[in-house]
Each structure stands twice: as C-alpha cells, then as structure tokens.
Structure 1
Amino acid sequence: MLYLERFSFLDEDTEWNVCAAEKHTCYDSFYPFGVLGEKELGRVVFEPVTIFYGGNGSGKTTALNVMADAVGARRQAPYNRTSFWQQYVRRCRAQGVWQRAENVAALTSDDVFDYMLDIRSLNEGIDAKRDEVFGEYQDAKYAHFQVHSLDDYDRLKQMNDARRHSQSRYTREHLMDNVRTRSNGESAFWYFTEKITQNGLYFLDEPENSLSPARQKELAAFLADSARFFGCQFVLATHSPFLLALPGAKIYDLDRTPAQTACWTELENVRVYRDFFKEHEKEF
C-alpha cells in the first residue's frame, strides 16, 4: 500500500534564495536549509519500503523528519529543528493519500529510550509505594484500636485484612506489580512491534539502535511482513545491512552527489562489512 507516493524537496537554488533573503538576521544557521539541496535529492518516488541511506551527517534523518512533518506524523521524542524548520517544510510538496492511513507516525530510537526511562520511573514509584505499604501493614497488624463509630470502619477493615494475611500477600493485593523490565534491545524490539499496527504509514529513524544482529533480522522480517500482508508503508533512515536488504526496498544513497537509488550490495557500509568478514574468513 502506498500512502505517500512522491515527495519533492527544495533544490539548491531555492534554498540559496531563501537564505539570502534572511542574511540581515542574527541567525548563523538556517537548518534544514543548506543540507538537502546540495545532495540534489529532488523528487523522491516511494515503494512500500523506502530507505534513506548515508553516513553520519549525510542528511538522511533530516529528510525523514521533513517528510514526517509534512504529512503530520505523530511523534513523541523531540528532534533537531530551528526557527526555519517550518519555512522549509511548507515549501516541500507531498503527494499521496496518507490521510487514509489508520496511523501515521514517526518512531525513533529516542522514543525507545524515553519509553525505557518512563518504565524505570514508574517502577521506582512502585518500589517507593511498596515501602509505604510495608509500613502500613506493620502499623495495621499490631495496632491497638477500638471502634467508636462508623467513621472507624475503614480502619477496622484494614486491621483485619492485615491480620488475616502475610505481609507479602497484603502488599500484592494493595499494590500493582512492577512493570516488566527488559534489556535495551528487547525493549527496542518490543516497542516497534507494539507501535506498528496494520494500515499505517511509518517513518523509522535508525530503528536498529540497541538491537543485536539477530534482533535486526527479526525486525526486518516483521517490517517485510507488515508491508506485504498488513497494508503498511515504511520510510526508513538506516545503516543496518539487515534492513537495507529488505526485499523490494528502494534505497536512496545520500552518500552520493547527486543522491540516487542504489542496490544494497553497492553501498559503502555494506561493503565494509563484507570486506571485514572476507579478511577474517579463515578464522571461521
């Protein structure tokens, strides 16, 4: 399913003209102007899986964020932007029917990190509350208390509850369990597979971060199945050879100028992996 069919970025001349008109300002950066124009990215034509590849500083994350903002993708974690961000986004052109998607979202490794911090904070709160319940149990079980009116009913009920149960059972019944914690890689994989639902348009920024090679292969299989069988479209920025090798993916190589489509086996980072393993082939 194609919810986003084409996207036009600004050319270098347009970027230069906009920046020239702002030279009288106090700004020393016009980001994202000056990043993608020199790549001559021009118009992007999408497939169910479209990948932006490039080294650090190549502009792939900038391109992803611009496209996500242009179609109003939901997002949680903050991202790099300046006072000129919306000026740039408004000048770009998106074509497609993304309004028909059931979910349009940008998911990044920063979202995973924030999720893990939220879980940790929640569990810390539960642990603190547990200590409070322990004290409440001891106080209720051994308190000397007499009922004088109906106002004392709740206190009497608490005392009886404490005296009928062990401390551990009393605590379990009065406190929610800790949220299950996972390793960074497990949390990242779980996060993406939970957030990605059918019939959606998703912008994924380096989702391989924190994932082991085996988990990256699992994520690649999940994305391939979601695109093939569940009506999803994906736009990724990635270095991962496992994601770059997704069947049928269209790859834009931003390490080249002008940026152009390429086969995953032609990409520099992939060839670095290949050459490394060939050098050590006898050790296997």
Structure 2
Amino acid sequence: MYLKKVTLLREKIPSFDRYPFTIPAVSQLHEISFTKEVSFFVGENGSGKSTLLEAIADKCEFNTAGGSRNNIYELQESDSHLGDYIRLSWLPKITNGFFLRAESFYQLSLHLDEVERDAPQPYLSYGGRPLHKQSHGESFMSLFHHRFKGKAIYLLDEPEAALSPARQLAFLRVIHDLVKGGNVQFIIATHSPILLGYPNADIFSFDGGSIHHTEYESTEHVQLTRYFLEQREKILAELFRD
C-alpha cells in the first residue's frame, strides 16, 4: 500500500457553488482512507468518481490526459478541476505509476507509439506491435501486460470500455498477478460488475450524495445487471411499451 489517504482541503475552496463542488459527493468529501491494494470507485455518470480519480492523478503528477510522469503531450480539456484542493498522504511516497482514461486512450496510444518508434527495439513494451495497429481491446491488454510493473500506483478510469467480458476476466488475472507481487496499488473507476468482483477489494460508492463503502452485492450495477439477466423479457416489455 502506498496511497493511504485523500483529504479535501475544504478551507481552500473559494465557493461550493462552482464546479466540481456542485457535485454532491465531492462537496461532502472530507477524506477517504485506502486500506486495500485494490479499490474501486463506482457510481452513476456525473457522480464524481472520474473527477476524483483525475485529481489524484494530477497530484501524482501523471499526465491527466493519460500516462505517467514521463508522458508529455497535450489534450484539450485534460486539466484537473479538483487537483488543487486535495492532499494525498503516502507511506511510502512513490512516483512510479500510470493514469489510464478510456476516453482519451486513442491519443495516448499515438503518443506512446511515437515515443517507442525510435527505441532500439521498437514497441517491445507493447508486445512488438504499435498500439494503434492493434484493436482497442488488444492495445489495452498490451499496455496492461507489458507496461504495468511492480512498485507503482495505477489509476484506471473505466478500463472496461474497450474490453469484452472475456478480456475483463483476463484483466482481473493481470491485477491478481501484480497484486500477488506485493508492490502495486490500483484505484479503478468502473461500471463493470465483472471488475467489481475482484476479491477483497474496497468499493467506494459515489451515489446518494456522499462517498461511502459498499459491498459488491449492494452496488446498483450488480443488482441491475442480475435483474436484467433474470427478467430480460419482462424488463424489455416494460421498456418498449407504447
């Protein structure tokens, strides 16, 4: 474990009537403590989970468009609105890691390919093929398999966006193998019931206007998915009723 706590510096906030403090879960935040190697942020779109994850990446000095401290490139609207108002508590402090955001992965992959192009063994870090010549899911998995290594913190924003259910299961194995080495920490914002099923992880819900611990079976994502699978015909009949 590396990142122990995130604290909102409430005394520095000029107004709670401005974004992102108009997000209920953010406005009610005081601090979050991390006690597990794998933690999930879960909640509806707009609930603040990606906003907080991006702010953590900003304070880690990762590129908030995606990447590590060493990935320097620009992407419009990639600045964090919350980073100046949180404090991270570490034990010990580390600088190695990666921030992955699904929505800007294409631009990140182009940047990573450009960096690799002139290397002695080009694209070795990604399985020997440029990321942009792989499918979306293949490039994600290449990055996970070849770039993710020990003693690091990994911040992932909706990684399931490019992963089929089978590849989500494969990604759980990637997480397991890295965690087993004892040198990594993951914080993952997700909607995926598959990823949320990682054993013994902490799940922080951003729904209901506050950030709070929840259990896997209690998440709306799991409950709704299960209900749909069990009552598909009934749900669709109601949904499409004139």
Which band: TM-score by shorter chain? 0.7 to 0.9
| Cα RMSD (Å) | 3.2
1:99 equivalent among 88, 93, 96 = 93
Aligned length: 212
- Name the aligned partner's letter for residue 218 of structure 1: A
**Which residue does 2:120 correspond to in 1?**
none
Q: Which has the higher helix share?
A: 1
**1:222 aligned partner:** 174
* Residue pairs, 1:176-255, within 5 angstroms: 179=130, 181-255=133-207
TM-score (normalised: structure 2):
0.75
TM-score by length of 1: 0.64
Which stretches in structure 2 are left out of the alignment for 5+ residues? Answer: 67-74, 116-127, 234-242
Where does residue 56 of structure 2 map in the other structure?
67
C-alpha distance in 1 between matches for 2:99 and 2:197:
21
Q: Which runs of 5+ in 1 are unaligned?
A: 21-28, 123-176
Q: Which residue of 1 aligns with 2:122?
A: none
- Report the Cα distance in structure 2 between the residues aligned to 1:241 and 1:178, rounded to whole angstroms: 31
Amino acid aligned to 1:45: S
Q: In the alignment, which of 176, 191, 211 is matched to residue 259 of structure 1?
A: 211
* 1:62-211 map, 5 Å: 62-77=51-66, 78=75, 80=77, 85=81, 88-97=82-91, 99-100=93-94, 103-117=96-110, 179=130, 181-211=133-163
Q: Given that residues 98 and 104 in structure 1 are in contact (C-alpha distance below 8 angstroms), is that contact kept between their aligned partners in structure 2?
A: no
Instruction: Decide whether the 8 Å contact of 2:24 with 2:210 is kept in 1.
Output: no
Query: Displacement of 1:100 after TM fit?
Result: 3.3
Q: Kindly provide the CA deviation profile for residues 164-198 of structure 1, in whole angstroms up to 9, marking residues without a partner as x.
A: xxxxxxxxxxxxx9858322211122122222111
Q: What do residues 233-276 of structure 1 show as CA deviations (whole Å, max 9, x unaligned)? A: 01111111111111111111001233210011111111111011
- Structure 2 letter corresponding to 1:231: N
Alignment partner of 1:18 is 2:7: no
SS at match of 2:161: coil
